[in-house]
Amino acid sequence: MGDIMEMLASALRMTIPVLITALGAIFSERSGVTNIGLEGMMMTGAFWGAYGALHYGPVGGFLLAIAMGMLVALIHAVVTVTYRVDQIVSGVAINILAYGLARFFSIALFGMATTSPSVEGLPKIDIPVLKNISVLKPIATDISPIIILGILLVFVTYWVLEKTVFGLRLKAVGENPLAADTLGVKVIPYRYIGVIISGAFAGLAGAYLSIEHTHMYVEGMTQGKGFIALAAMIFGNWMPYGSFWASFLFGFAEAISMRVVQSKVVPYQFIKMIPYVLTLLVLAGVVRKAQPPASVGIPYSREGD
Amino acid sequence: MEKVLELKGITKRFPGLVANDNISFDALRGEVHALVGENGAGKSTLMKIITGLYQPDEGEMFLKGEKVKINGPRDAIAKGIGMVHQHFMLINRFNVVQNIILGYENSPGGVIDFDKAKKKVEELCELYDFKLDLNAQVGDLSVGHQQRVEILKVLYRGAEILILDEPTAVLTPQEVKELFVNLRKLKQEGKTILFISHKLDEVLEISDRITVLRRGKVIGTVKASETSKKQLAEMMVGRPVLFRLEKPIVKTGDVILEVRNLKVKGSIDRHQLNNLSLSIRAGEIYGIAGVEGNGQRELVEAIMGLLPYDGGEILIKGKSNKGLDTRAIRETGVGYIPEDRHQRGLVLPMTVWENMVLGLERKPEYSRWWKLFRDKIKSLTSKKVEEFDIRLGSIELAIRNLSGGNQQKVILARELSYEPDLIIAAQPVRGLDIGAIEFVHKKLIEARNNGKAVLLISADLEEVLSLSDRVGIMYNGEIVKEFVPGELELEEIGQYMLGAHKEVGVG
């Protein structure tokens, strides 16, 4: 039982970066903008998170990471929403740009191309009540507050999308922007906000990796998690709860792969593939049934050209 | 009665054309005022001006006697002008209430009170006799009900003037009746309705007054009680319109298309075909009557090589089309006017002249190796534009800028240009106006007179009966009855269409 709980705790830690990024992606996608640049935004968050944590402490690191994630997202928004460049092309460019910038600033600020000095994480916390149940101990004690935040964000995202004016309009803009426009809902600002929220979330998730998970920045540490988050969001049918379970599935797969790597039964390269193979299978099998926002990926302009 | 809306001298120019030329008219409280005109007459532009999507170059607009400037759809609705679009502006994934309140949530603090909103919508439904399931997802509603949501949307915002753009184009006859009941009720409650249409029978039935537009100008405003369909059509088109088609007797020739025991297995998105047989001779129009979705589309696609079939054979001029791709089939002499011109007939972002050679570009007249003979194609296009009276600013325009009627004429011109022996015309006049319909029909009959075989598929029974030399009634993937127009009473045809009679077709 203890082992299973350890495993769950490990899965949860793996889940969080994917989950937070996926939740952010929901805002972007439901507003009608595909954000394939999530990976780059996470990378940006990971780098600036480490830098901020080094100089201003972990909270400062997270705030800086969020801000930088939003800045990169702003580029994506300007390019795709205002200038209506193909969203995939822009996203790919963002990923390349983020990678290059991270390396550039790493040399400039840390004096090392691929790693940062180690940084302090946030103080670990215990969940009251749950921590007293001995079985739940591994998942209720000594955990990062970002894990709690990530899970709270699932509910917050749901509430915003389903209960608020902002959510209703954001979704409308992603489903049928022309209809929204004729009803006086301004399409462009909502899409900007959607994309920028996704940047903030991805930045936060990236910073979690560097500040909380490894306590340092390592080049390429996001390991495709931005793409996995996108897959999780699709698997979750563009919904917060669905995305949570999908992210958890990937987190779990990763936790397993780490365990098995340690066991050295199968060559570890194959085990490392599990989360990615799972992503492929899920996308191949589930996407047909998924119901994306009707206008995702399509730039909007009034005159229709 | 009070003049609620008045336009004076509205003019709007676009590069290459004057869409609205000095337009003046007014609408009264409690009136249904129809705006009729062919596609391209300037109705849509005028509506966009009234709802503020366009600003007029000249002219003034008055609401209840006060001069106004409308700055956009939101401003329009704030001033009491609500637009019910022909293509519904609905969000399929939202439920009825969400659709209605969107953009007008009235929620201080940003949190929506859905219960309160729903109650308000319910009250509106009661006041105007709208029957609607408010919890349903809009995408699941019938077209008629979706239209009610659109109307409720503008009423919820307190519209006094409702603009309905081609509201009956998408409705079944029964739904049209229900819509008219709703409209009369709205009129009674003092709303003003601008009813845009080119279906003259309906316009005459529902309106009080009718304003006719032609080529951007107002031709006149008449009272519905004092005019006739014939007069309106003449005003619209600018010449007398024949509602009856002249069809000389022609001697039929060889069998051009022969379909024998055609079988297609059904699936989610296609209907089965069940031992379907028919044959068409040169100089003959064969019409398929039937409720849509009884296998008509599958039949056409099987003939055109777009859908593999499971049994039977299709012979075009005696040769089987099995294993041939669509291009090869077209090259055997088949012209195809597809049901959905936007999906299949045209490439919307491409120019008019490019669309004019689509699928023919390999012909030696139009290209050699990699080189397209642009000048030749463009001059041919200009010739066709004149011959088919296609109205456009320039052949360099993307074809999506043309009206539906003009787009269809481009397809027709292209498909007839290589003198096919067989013409497959699927819903050839769907969404077109009188002038364009008459034109398409004339061209099809002309083709028949010249010894072509024509397969006509239409959901409009009247069209099938007036054009065809022989008619096959399709029901559930079979031809259940073949007849010559005039042989059967309408009622009997209706019964076959609904499957009440069961009889095997006479191949």
| Strand pairing report for B192-197 and B161-165 | parallel
Same domain, B148 and B292: no
Query: HEC profile for B199-267?
Result: CHHHHHHHCCEEEEEECCEEEEEEEHHHCCHHHHHHHHHCCCCCCCCCCCCCCCCCEEEEEEEEEECCE
- Picking from B93, B349, B400, the nearest residue to A175 by CB comes out as B93
Cβ-proximal residues to B210 (8 Å cutoff; 6+ apart), any chain: B33, B34, B35, B36, B203, B204, B221, B222, B223, B224, B227, B232
Closest by alpha carbon to B338, among B355, B353, B321, B322?
A: B355
Query: HEC profile for B304-334?
Result: CCCCCCCEEEEEECCEECCCCCHHHHHHCCE
pLDDT for the residue numbered B242: 65
Same domain, B263 and B378: no
Helix axes A87-105, A38-77, angle to 10 degrees: 110
Same domain, B154 and B254: no
Q: Distance between CA B259 and CA B274 in Å, rounded? A: 12
pLDDT for the residue numbered B291: 78
Residue B103 sits at the chain A interface (C-beta within 8 Å): yes
Closest by alpha carbon to A102, among A229, A192, A222?
A: A222
pLDDT for the residue numbered B88: 86
Same domain, B321 and B384: no
Same domain, B191 and B263: no
- Residue A190 tokens read as 């909502």
B436: in domain: no
Cβ-proximal residues to B423 (8 Å cutoff; 6+ apart), any chain: B334, B335, B336, B337, B415, B416, B444, B447, B452, B453, B454, B455
B443: in domain: no
- Residue B381 tokens read as 């296009």
Same domain, B317 and B387: no
- Residue B135 tokens read as 């919890």
Contact B286, B465 (CB under 8 A): no
B69: in domain: yes
Same domain, B208 and B178: yes
Closest by alpha carbon to B410, among B442, B445, B434, B386?
A: B386
Q: Distance between CA B246 and CA B242 in Å, rounded? A: 9
B229: in domain: yes
Contact B32, B188 (CB under 8 A): no
Neighbours of B75 (CB within 10 A): 15
**Contact criterion met (CB < 8 Å) for A179 and B98:** no
B429: in domain: no
B211: in domain: yes
Domain boundary among B211, B237, B263: B237
pLDDT for the residue numbered B111: 93
- Please count the residue pairs, one from chain A and one from chain B, whose beta carbons lie less than 8 angstroms apart: 74
Nearest residue on chain B to A187, alpha-carbon basis: B103
B446: in domain: no
Same domain, B8 and B135: yes
Same domain, B133 and B233: yes
| Residue ranges for chain B with pLDDT beneath 70 | 172-173, 242-245, 268-269, 501-507
Domain boundary among B215, B237, B259: B237
Range of the domain at B466: 250-333+452-507
- Picking from A163, A178, A294, the nearest residue to B89 by CB comes out as A178
- CATH number assigned to the domain comprising residue B120: 3.40.50.300
Give A279's DSSP letter: H
Binding-face residues of B in 372-401 toward A, CB within 8 A: 398, 400
The alpha carbon of A116 is separated from its chain's Cα centroid by a whole number of angstroms, namely 22
Closest by alpha carbon to B274, among B302, B306, B304, B316?
A: B302
Domain boundary among B188, B204, B237: B237
Binding-face residues of A in 157-186 toward B, CB within 8 A: 163-166, 168-169, 171-172, 175-176, 178-185
CA of A154 vs chain B CAs: smallest distance (Å): 18
Torsion of CA A276, A147, A199, A182, to 10 degrees: 100
User: Which chain B residues have a beta carbon less than 8 Å from that of A293?
Assistant: 93
**Contact criterion met (CB < 8 Å) for B93 and A184:** no
Domain count for chain B: 3
pLDDT for the residue numbered B74: 81
Same domain, B230 and B284: no
Cβ-proximal residues to B253 (8 Å cutoff; 6+ apart), any chain: B281, B282, B283, B451
pLDDT for the residue numbered B359: 82
**Contact criterion met (CB < 8 Å) for B110 and A165:** yes
- The 10s digit of each residue's pLDDT in B207-226 is 999 999 998 999 999 999 99
Q: Structure pTM?
A: 0.74
CA of A180 vs chain B CAs: smallest distance (Å): 7
Same domain, B376 and B396: yes
Same domain, B281 and B403: no
In a structure prediction context, what are the per-residue pLDDT tens digits for chain A, which is 305 residues long? 668 888 889 999 999 999 999 999 999 999 999 999 999 999 999 999 999 999 999 999 999 999 999 999 999 999 999 999 999 999 999 999 999 999 999 999 999 888 999 999 999 988 888 888 877 888 888 889 999 999 999 999 999 999 999 999 999 999 999 889 888 889 999 999 999 999 999 999 999 999 999 999 999 999 899 999 999 999 899 999 999 999 998 898 888 887 776 666 777 778 778 888 887 887 777 666 678 888 888 888 875 43
B425: in domain: no
Cβ-proximal residues to B411 (8 Å cutoff; 6+ apart), any chain: B337, B338, B341, B345, B346
